[in-house]
Amino acid sequence: MNSTCDSCKEALRAHNSIHLKIGDDYQHLCMNCYNEVMSEHHDINFENVGFEPINLSDKDGAEHTFTFHTRLLGDKVAMEAFEEMEGDKAGYQFQVIGRTKDDILSLYQSLYEKMKRALEQKHIEPNELTSWPEYSITRNAIVRGHITSDIDDGSTPVVIIDGHEISWDEFGKMVATYMGFNFKMELFDQSEEK
């Protein structure tokens, strides 16, 4: 993976870059350069607006730092927040989608409120009965999270629950404590809230 944007040469981060095919070439672009290409292609007057990172505390008082970016999607814009994590770890991720003509500050406010609501919920807690899995599902038996993949093999799901990266095996162990129960699994786009 390129470590700098093919256009502006700024350093790239995994959640703030995109591979884009332009003609016969693939380019690895930062989100600002990608937005410029997309705004030209769709003939949209789009201004990249940057937001400073913020810190938010979760229900247990732990602090989480988030960075933001916007991504042009034709006549829509996605605003996303990613938790700053060390190394290759993944943390909380949030997204809202609006129209390019919407007020960007209103979109940011919607995202901020969504983040605050999510950080007030707890779906897992440290497992005090055994050393593995590290976490157990809380008493309300509801789990919400984000699906990503193992960075090493790319084909094994990894789930992010309450900002914690949980391997598929560990998640299976957490669910195994409910052997004999029924369950309902609902999948929806990360811009939706349920």
Number of structural domains found in the chain: 2
Say how far apart CA 30 and CA 33 lie, in whole Å: 5
Q: Return the DSSP state at 179.
A: T
Q: Is residue 33 part of a domain?
A: yes
Q: Is residue 78 part of a domain?
A: yes
* 113 and 48 co-located in one domain: yes
In the sheet with 76-83, reading across from the earlier edge strand, the strands are 54-57, 63-73, 76-83, 93-99
Q: Identify the domain boundary among 85, 119, 153.
A: 119
Say how far apart CA 83 and CA 97 lie, in whole Å: 18
Q: For residue 163, which of 85, 79, 55, 69 has the smallest C-alpha distance?
A: 85
Question: What is the chain's Cα-based Rg?
Answer: 19
Span 34-46, pLDDT tens digits = 999 999 988 988 8
* 135 and 167 co-located in one domain: yes
* 19 and 80 co-located in one domain: yes
Structural domain boundaries enclosing 152: 124-176
* 112 and 167 co-located in one domain: no
Joined tokens for residue 122 = 């707890």
Kind plus residue range of the DSSP H or E element containing 182: none
* 56 and 131 co-located in one domain: no
* 147 and 85 co-located in one domain: no
Q: Is residue 1 part of a domain?
A: no
Which residue bears the tokens 């900002």?
Answer: 163
* 52 and 96 co-located in one domain: yes
* 22 and 69 co-located in one domain: yes
Amino acid at 102: D
Q: Is residue 155 part of a domain?
A: yes
Alpha helices in the chain (DSSP H): 31-41, 104-119, 168-176
Say how far apart CA 168 and CA 159 lie, in whole Å: 7
* 92 and 146 co-located in one domain: no
Cis previous bond, 157, omega within 30: no
Residue 67's DSSP bridge partners are 82
The confidence score (pLDDT) of residue 2 equals: 52
Q: Is residue 2 part of a domain?
A: no
In the predicted structure, residue 1 carries a pLDDT above the cut 70:
no
Span 86-110, pLDDT tens digits = 877 889 999 999 999 889 999 999 9
The confidence score (pLDDT) of residue 89 equals: 82
Q: Is residue 172 part of a domain?
A: yes
Q: Is residue 39 part of a domain?
A: yes
Is residue 142 within 8 A of residue 123, CB to CB? The reply is yes
* 167 and 77 co-located in one domain: no
Instruction: Express as a percent the part of the chain with pLDDT over 90.
Output: 68
Joined tokens for residue 53 = 């990172």
Q: Is residue 3 part of a domain?
A: no
What is the number of residues in the chain? 194
pLDDT band at 131; cut points 50, 70, 90: confident
* 114 and 22 co-located in one domain: yes
- Quote the mean pLDDT of the chain: 91
Is residue 94 within 8 A of residue 115, CB to CB? The reply is yes
* 21 and 112 co-located in one domain: yes
In the predicted structure, residue 22 carries a pLDDT above the cut 90:
no
